[in-house]
């Protein structure tokens, strides 16, 4: 079954270019020119992946991403002319998985999507043993690679595919220190040639979902000057 991609872009020309390029790669493509239309498409057609511009008129792309994250963990790729580090970080903190700046090469866009598909497939096919992240009976936290999910007291924690892959890389085996470049290579796969702080942003989002106190993380800890390490509790 072909992957269903939703393209959210208010520029008709760019939207048409993306549609043609993605259809040439075998994807099914739906379009939306603004945030309200995008949210309706997410609810009604359940896309497998969303590409979104940040400048969408009255309701911007940041808001669009945040609203989608309330109801779905689908991969989200930002495609935007905003290339400042602040804009990139803000987009990722809103809930996006990846960020491509305009002008872009169509091959780069399709490469990013293929990498996200591999992440999804890799998560579903994982065979490593489950890892108890926090054994406190009051908040039992388990990374279940057989289900491709993290469970808190038996209920799934709503992680994005990137957050899950980051956690899985740190967890197998736990106790290793992984640098930012190493995590970029393992998780993003296609390579990320922008600011390495993309890792920090996703780690920060991950901590808000799994740590007892995100401001004082104990499960995913920072090793100053080296990277990150998973310390099961």
- pLDDT tens-place string over residues 142-166: 888 777 778 888 788 888 888 888 8
Same domain assignment for residues 154 and 217: yes
Tell me the CA end-to-end span of the chain in Å, nearest whole number.
41
Query: What percentage of the chain exceeds 70 in pLDDT?
Result: 92
Give the domain range for residue 173.
128-230
Residue 81 has pLDDT above 90, yes or no: no
Q: Which pTM value belongs to this model?
A: 0.71
Does the N-terminal peptide bond of residue 173 adopt cis geometry, omega within 30 degrees of 0? yes
Q: Compute the CA torsion angle 144, 68, 42, 3 (nearest 10 deg).
A: -50
**pLDDT tier for residue 7 given thresholds of 50, 70 and 90:** very high
Same domain assignment for residues 113 and 141: no
Q: In total, how many domains does the chain have?
A: 2
Task: Collect all residues with Cβ–Cβ distance below 8 Å to 155 and sequence separation of at least 6.
Answer: none
Query: Which of 122, 148, 171 finishes a domain?
Result: 122
Same domain assignment for residues 27 and 118: yes
- CB count within 10 Å of CB 154 equals 7
Distance CA 170, CA 179 (A): 10
Same domain assignment for residues 98 and 206: no
Same domain assignment for residues 133 and 116: no
CATH of the domain at 204: 1.10.10.10
Query: Which of 98, 122, 146 finishes a domain?
Result: 122
Residue 191 has pLDDT above 60, yes or no: no
Same domain assignment for residues 196 and 142: yes
């Amino acid at each position: 079954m072909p992957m269903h991609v939703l393209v959210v872009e208010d520029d008709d020309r760019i939207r048409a270019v993306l549609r043609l390029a993605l259809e040439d790669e075998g994807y099914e493509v739906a379009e939306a020119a603004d945030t309200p239309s995008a949210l309706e498409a997410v609810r009604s057609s359940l896309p497998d992946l969303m590409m979104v511009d940040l400048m969408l008129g009255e309701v911007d792309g940041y808001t669009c991403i945040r609203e989608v994250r309330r109801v779905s963990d689908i991969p989200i790729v930002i495609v935007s002319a905003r290339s400042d580090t602040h804009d990139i970080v803000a987009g990722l903190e809103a809930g996006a998985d990846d960020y491509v700046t305009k002008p872009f090469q169509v091959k780069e866009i399709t490469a990013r999507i293929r990498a996200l598909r591999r992440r999804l497939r890799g998560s579903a096919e994982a065979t490593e043993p489950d890892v108890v992240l926090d054994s406190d009976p009051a908040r039992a936290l388990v990374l279940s690679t057989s289900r491709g999910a993290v469970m808190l007291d038996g209920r799934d924690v709503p992680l994005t595919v990137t957050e899950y892959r980051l956690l899985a890389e740190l967890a197998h085996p736990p106790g290793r220190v992984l640098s930012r470049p190493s995590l970029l290579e393992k998780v993003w796969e296609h390579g990320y040639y922008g600011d390495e702080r993309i890792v920090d942003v996703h780690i920060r989002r991950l901590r808000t979902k799994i740590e007892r106190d995100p401001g004082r993380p104990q499960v995913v800890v920072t090793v100053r000057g080296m990277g990150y390490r998973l310390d099961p509790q």
